[in-house]
Amino acid sequence: MVTRSDARGKFLSGSPRLLTELLGMSRLIPDLTLPEITSENFEQSLSQPLFCEFFNEFLQQPVFVLPLRYDDQSSGFELLSDAAVRLSCRIRAAVQQMRSRSCAEPLRDNRYSITRLDRQQTLRWLHTHRLAFFLHSDCYFEFRLASCLSQLTCSPSPHRQQCDEVCSSTGQRNSSSAETPTLHTEDALQTDRRSFLDFKRSLLGGPGESLLELWMNIERLKTLSSTHHKSRYVLWMRAQYVWSSSDAVLDEQLLLRLGLKSAACWQEDRLPDVQPRLTELLLLYWGQRFHLFPSGQWRVCESVLSSSVSETCTHTVCTCRDTKAELERSEIHTLLEVLQTESRSGFFFTHFCQNSGQQLWENAVYFCSELLQYRQLFCQSRFDPYRAQRTAQLLFVSYLSSGAQMNVCVTEESRRCVLTRLSPAFEDLFDPAEEHALNILLEAWGELTHTLTDPLHTVALWQEVRYAEPELFQMLQTLYTHTQSRQQQERRPVHTPAEGSRGQDLWAKVPLEFRRFRLDSLLQNHTELQHFLSFLEERSASVVLQCWLDGEQLKRSDGALLEERNRNFRDKYLNSSFLFGADSPASEEQQRRLLQVCAAGVVSPSALSDLQALLHSRLEAQWLPLFLSSAEFRRRQQHQVTEVCEQQPVVHQRRKRREAQVCVGGMSVSQQQQAVCVRRALQDPVTRLQFQQFLSSVDALLENDLLFWLEVQRYKELCHSRCDEQALQRKVSIIISRFFRSSVPPALQIHVPPDAALLVTSMQKTLGPYIFRETQMCVFEELLKHWPEFCALRSSVCADALLRVLDQKQSDRRRSRQTDEQSDSRSQVTLTPAEPSSHTDRCV
């Protein structure tokens, strides 16, 4: 029996039967028309906020040297600038500092300037130089889907009812009592680009993600002009969605209903006919499924789903101080960003290489593009050695062999190096060839940037001044004025010499670790403030602190509330019981001055500030040191330290588990590019030794990570050397005994998840070139985290002094560890003669 919840569960999980039934309903579903942008309606489309968001993303791709943006508020174009964002961050940070009573430099100006462009001239320029590429970009493809998705409302509709009927009928076939599930939806759905990113997030990890990628790949296929490249792209698509070893494989029933079951169906002219059915599935099934949940449930950071890789290879790989070398590295990093975002820029750089007349440039850009696809094979959860081997052979035959049709002209040494290591194929197989191709493309990129340096010479430009965060900036100025006034009052000497000497005597009794506390820091801690108030109540002195707190409320009051609080404050504190009494915090002269100021019956702001300064001085000089010296305060502080120390291992374990999950899932495309740079740097023996000493000065296990990675690299070389199985088995046993089953605790000597380590040890007898694939990826992820810090250290000192600095860091770490061990041994209780052996057994 299938219940109502079962039917709803099938609908939510993306059941293949439901997907195929929805395909069978195509004759009942009205046509879904995707918007078309042309040169005629382009200017009119700028009035749509959704279109502007996707078009601005396209204009800001890294391939465009001068990024633009369309400002829908002013209906004009401007050069992209981060001045507003930086100034806004400074204002918000300053406000936070003022609110936390910390010292901050005043921010006197919130003005910034932008470069505006003439609207009509810019539109003509965009028609000529950018529109065609936008219509071939992922930004445009996603806009078309997002536009249709935004038209799907959460209210009942014919489309929604048909989806409900399919979901309901699936349950009714097995249970006559099953009813249509109740679908809880939002009252409204966001229609901006962020909503579409949420939709993409909801598809992750399911068949919907593969359907969306297939839809996008068909759109990209239409943009290719060469028949040869179209056929290669179709072959890659078939392997991606048909082969069972692929993470994006589609269900057999779904492929059958789509007409893509057999290899003959994967033809360039037949795939566009499949696209309307994919659109129906994405919008009428997965779109409705997305509406079932609050959009916040799918909320994801924009940088996660966007193909933009602004952080790709941002760390310096080599630290040579040569200016030319620095410039070349920066250009390579930018070039890597451009190559990875080609589909979002409409293949602008690829089109430039094709039209340049340089066949070598065109071959190199296509080689780098297919190399990205090759490296993604090693990041999949279901790794297929056969597919990796077949793809590596195809890349070598197509681009590296002497008679290759798209030869990138690598050196004979590099060609022979790749050929000898072609079987088995690893992710670093084509590193030498990629370096050669990138050097070729650097020439093309330099010419392109020179061409785009002044692309807007036909467009009129002018500067316009704007203001960042005007309301927040006004609040900042007010806070700064109040803070400056308070600091001036606190600097006034308000206590007598006898009282000051008495306060110094009281502060001398406060433990050294607590002397950093002041009244302002105590006021920010609500818990300790309550304890301080209770401490004063026990000594009949709480009126001092209460008067100061009421004075703060009086400062923030206005209108009728100000009059009421002013009256209450005057009646409660300006009397002979407190301010004008024997135990008054003010001297006789101060009392007379306050009495004259408050003679009209109103506590003026100046009088209130003077009174608060007196109270502040009394509290810090007399009562705060007594509070900090109390046994209760010391006990609470010690308890907090103990809790923090006890919680640190738990936090550390959680972080390790999160890092392990990221490692097992494989590296992203941007991390793969950075990995190429680090692998290239580690080929230098001097750099490798320096990095090893740096890791040793940080953590012994980090040094083991590097040693393990190097040992696996040597194991790969053994696999390529065609040595016998006994030598391979001996190498595997040595690696496992050294890093996975060490006789020196801990047994696991590297940063890998325990499950991955257990899998390696269980596969020890099963020889294979990829036995250490996942663990090596995990370890290399850990090494990549420390590479930027190593580069920063290396760039801060000269080459001769680097080894001395690393030796000193290693000695300091060894000395600190010995000190900790000695303190631990002194704190241990002496064991009986029978206990050491059992303790040793437990460690082993």
pLDDT tens by residue, 825-837: 555 544 444 444 3
The dihedral over CA atoms of 580, 586, 590, 592, expressed in degrees to the nearest 10, equals 10
The reported pLDDT for the residue numbered 503 is 52
Mind listing the pLDDT tens digit for each residue in 709-754? 999 988 888 888 878 888 888 888 899 888 888 877 788 888 888 8
The reported pLDDT for the residue numbered 103 is 53
Burial class (CB in 10 A: 0-12, 13-18, 19+), 31: exposed
Q: Find the mean pLDDT for residues 810-837.
A: 56
CB 113 within 8 A of CB 463: yes
Mind listing the pLDDT tens digit for each residue in 157-184? 444 444 444 333 333 333 333 333 333 3
Is residue 789 over pLDDT 90?
no
pTM of the complete model = 0.66
Is residue 247 over pLDDT 50?
yes
Amino acid at 67: P
Pick the CATH number of 492-629 from 3.40.50.620, 1.10.167.10, 2.40.37.10, 1.10.10.10: 1.10.167.10
- Which residue shows structure tokens 């410039």? 327
Amino acid at 634: R
| Fold match between domain 492-629 and domain 665-824 | yes
Each domain of the chain, given as residue ranges in start order, spans 4-26+146-153+185-302, 33-135+460-491, 341-451, 492-629, 665-824
Q: How many Å apart are CA 277 and CA 513, to the nearest integer?
A: 70
Q: How many Å apart are CA 362 and CA 351, to the nearest integer?
A: 9
Burial class (CB in 10 A: 0-12, 13-18, 19+), 205: exposed
Stated as kind and residue range, the H or E segment containing 679 is helix 669-682
The reported pLDDT for the residue numbered 54 is 93
DSSP conformation class of 539: T
Fold of 665-824: Regulator of G-protein Signalling 4; domain 2 (1.10.167)
Fold of 341-451: Regulator of G-protein Signalling 4; domain 2 (1.10.167)
